[in-house]
Chain A
């Protein structure tokens, strides 16, 4: 097709160039991201992201807070998937606490609840990614459909933890509340309702000709480049690398569940190549199905009775340092914590998967059109709250 080839046209070197500021208040930059575009006509010569508009000093602030007090601030990092952010932080602190004799370890019931809410939040996060990506590209309907179904997940979270966005549910050593009666029935109803919806979304957006024309063969991020940039999560899997911490370094009880790690493929029928925007998007759609599979297995296995919180005296991790990572919906979320044995961390550093994904934008966007920048930002699925922290 003529239009697809023209995306990589070499233009004359002595043409007029202009600088365009895209953002920070741009609707499709997923937050407050400013892009400084050096344009040659409509062709992007350089795209420099300017971040920091949402900086709230999380890491420095955490040095003045005790460990349980930090958890509500991790909610505000990636507010789309706050459960996974809570979980990532708690995993790191629990790993430090494991040396403590008084710490009894996370109970079985809490582990099951964690996986349940973590996977539900992964679906909610991917739904938002799918809906806003469609809206960026120009399809408004998927946005409403995605938010309709995301609303059901938020209602489930509201029942179990009392909040819709900033959950503060997963705590050090367990979870804050046990599930209310009939909650598992509500989850089952939702899963039964949601599973056929993914195919409906595929009909609505994934197979749409206009959507394919906008995303296929755009901004190809191959496997080597993804690894060099440190990109993880669906963006890496869209490039064809089968790497998922839930499978490769199972934390919590993920080794008990049977699920696949979806990766991108070359699809000649629509012209998709490994690592393009379409494949990154498609991996997320497939991951929603895998999350449904995990939740179904939890519902079929009986969740064991018992406590939901570990026994310990106080959260005082022994002196030392740790880096622990977990698979958040947007990639590997890492927490580096230095402790001196007191109730507050000496240093806390969060490794954000969105930050590494955004760093590749400069190389990905070279030679493309302005409209393709929108397609790239949507496909790498960034959340500015996590990048700026």
Chain B
């Protein structure tokens, strides 16, 4: 009989000891977020932004892509589809005259021919770009806004198709590591995470820009 009552006592007591920990938590700040209704999370000590280099959706800057096919070869699930074709002048022929891709710091690109030396860019100077896409226009940007200038003298292949099936992708990041021009990247912002679709076919992204090869 004594054992029976002491069992009840110990049972209730240890539950109450656990309840003290639960009770303390009531006066601490909440750790949960009401995602997706609450985007502006409360700034707390333990909260950090989506880190740089987060592996999200794949994106290809086709202006830099040389269609080397390395990403399609390393992909463990074969979710990158590339069709390429030799230009009429044979392999190695120039598709266009020397051209530059100017990457601005706000992640936009200007494609054209940069006047002057592209290797040395002084700060606080103006860069004149004769645009090729779309043709004929001249643009002037401050060198402070320019992230980098990529030079492209020749393209060995036409790119007919560059599709990535994000429904198949396993986010291993191997393709971004083998990319020689670092044009294939994983988007490390909120857009790289939130791209759900109702139809699976919409997850097949095509990156080819036919206007580049006119």
Residue of A nearest to B53 (CB): A162
A152 touches B46 (CB 8 A): yes
A104 interface residue per 8 A CB criterion: no
Residue of A nearest to B19 (CB): A141
B21 interface residue per 8 A CB criterion: yes
A67 shortest CB reach to chain B, Å = 11
B125 interface residue per 8 A CB criterion: no
A349 interface residue per 8 A CB criterion: no
A176 touches B177 (CB 8 A): yes
A205 shortest CB reach to chain B, Å = 7
Residues of B contacting A69 in the complex (Cβ-Cβ under 8 angstroms) = 74, 76, 174
B137 interface residue per 8 A CB criterion: no
Residue of B nearest to A213 (CB): B11
B171 touches A209 (CB 8 A): no
From the candidates A159, A168, A209, name the one contacting B172 in the complex (CB within 8 A): A168
Given contacts A69-B174, A210-B14, 11 further A-B contacts (CB under 8 A): A1-B3, A69-B74, A72-B170, A163-B54, A166-B172, A168-B174, A180-B53, A203-B17, A207-B14, A208-B18, A210-B15
A162 touches B74 (CB 8 A): no
Q: Which residues of B contact A (CB under 8 A)?
A: 3, 7, 10-11, 13-15, 17-18, 21-22, 31, 46, 48, 50-55, 74, 76, 170-174, 177, 186, 188
Per-position binary interface string of chain A over residues 198-228, scored 1 when its CB falls under 8 Å from any chain B CB and 0 otherwise: 0010011101111000000000000000000
A188 shortest CB reach to chain B, Å = 13
A158 touches B18 (CB 8 A): no
A72 to B173, CA, bound (A): 9
A28 shortest CB reach to chain B, Å = 20
A55 interface residue per 8 A CB criterion: no
From the candidates B18, B51, B171, name the one contacting A205 in the complex (CB within 8 A): B18
Residue of B nearest to A139 (CB): B18
A70 to B14, CA, bound (A): 48
Residues of B contacting A186 in the complex (Cβ-Cβ under 8 angstroms) = 48
A176 to B52, CA, bound (A): 15
A230 interface residue per 8 A CB criterion: no
A98 interface residue per 8 A CB criterion: no
Residue of B nearest to A142 (CB): B18
B11 touches A72 (CB 8 A): no
A28 to B21, CA, bound (A): 25
A267 interface residue per 8 A CB criterion: no
A20 interface residue per 8 A CB criterion: no
B10 touches A204 (CB 8 A): no
A70 to B170, CA, bound (A): 12
A163 touches B55 (CB 8 A): yes
Residues of A contacting B177 in the complex (Cβ-Cβ under 8 angstroms) = 176
A68 interface residue per 8 A CB criterion: yes
A162 touches B51 (CB 8 A): yes
B53 touches A210 (CB 8 A): no
B51 touches A73 (CB 8 A): no
A210 shortest CB reach to chain B, Å = 6
A-B CB contact pairs (8 Å), 26 listed: A65-B76, A68-B74, A68-B174, A69-B174, A71-B172, A73-B76, A148-B31, A151-B31, A158-B50, A159-B48, A159-B51, A162-B51, A163-B54, A163-B55, A163-B173, A166-B170, A166-B171, A166-B172, A176-B173, A180-B51, A180-B52, A203-B21, A205-B18, A207-B14, A208-B15, A210-B15
Residues of A contacting B17 in the complex (Cβ-Cβ under 8 angstroms) = 203, 207-208
B54 shortest CB reach to chain A, Å = 5
Residues of B contacting A168 in the complex (Cβ-Cβ under 8 angstroms) = 172-174
A200 touches B51 (CB 8 A): no
Q: How large is the interface on A (under 10, 10 to 19, 20 to 34, 35 or more residues)?
A: 20 to 34
A177 interface residue per 8 A CB criterion: yes
Per-position binary interface string of chain A over residues 176-205, scored 1 when its CB falls under 8 Å from any chain B CB and 0 otherwise: 110010000010000000000000100111
Residues of B contacting A70 in the complex (Cβ-Cβ under 8 angstroms) = 76
From the candidates A73, A141, A155, A163, name the one contacting B171 in the complex (CB within 8 A): A163
B48 touches A204 (CB 8 A): no
A162 touches B14 (CB 8 A): no
Per-position binary interface string of chain A over residues 43-80, scored 1 when its CB falls under 8 Å from any chain B CB and 0 otherwise: 00000000000000000000001001111110100000
Residues of B contacting A148 in the complex (Cβ-Cβ under 8 angstroms) = 31
Residues of A contacting B76 in the complex (Cβ-Cβ under 8 angstroms) = 65, 69-70, 72-73
A86 shortest CB reach to chain B, Å = 11
B51 touches A141 (CB 8 A): no
Residues of A contacting B14 in the complex (Cβ-Cβ under 8 angstroms) = 207-210
A83 shortest CB reach to chain B, Å = 14
Residue of A nearest to B12 (CB): A209
Residues of A contacting B10 in the complex (Cβ-Cβ under 8 angstroms) = 209
B142 shortest CB reach to chain A, Å = 29
A131 to B4, CA, bound (A): 30
Within 8 A of B (CB), among A66-112: 68-73, 75
A162 touches B170 (CB 8 A): no
Contact A72-B54, Cβ < 8 Å, known A200-B21, A207-B14, A209-B14: no
B17 shortest CB reach to chain A, Å = 6
B74 touches A209 (CB 8 A): no
From the candidates A159, A177, A203, name the one contacting B18 in the complex (CB within 8 A): A203
Residues of A contacting B54 in the complex (Cβ-Cβ under 8 angstroms) = 158, 162-163
Residue of B nearest to A76 (CB): B170
From the candidates B48, B174, B188, name the one contacting A162 in the complex (CB within 8 A): B188
Residues of A contacting B18 in the complex (Cβ-Cβ under 8 angstroms) = 139, 141, 203-205, 208
A204 touches B3 (CB 8 A): no
A203 to B186, CA, bound (A): 44
Residues of B contacting A180 in the complex (Cβ-Cβ under 8 angstroms) = 51-53
A152 to B45, CA, bound (A): 12
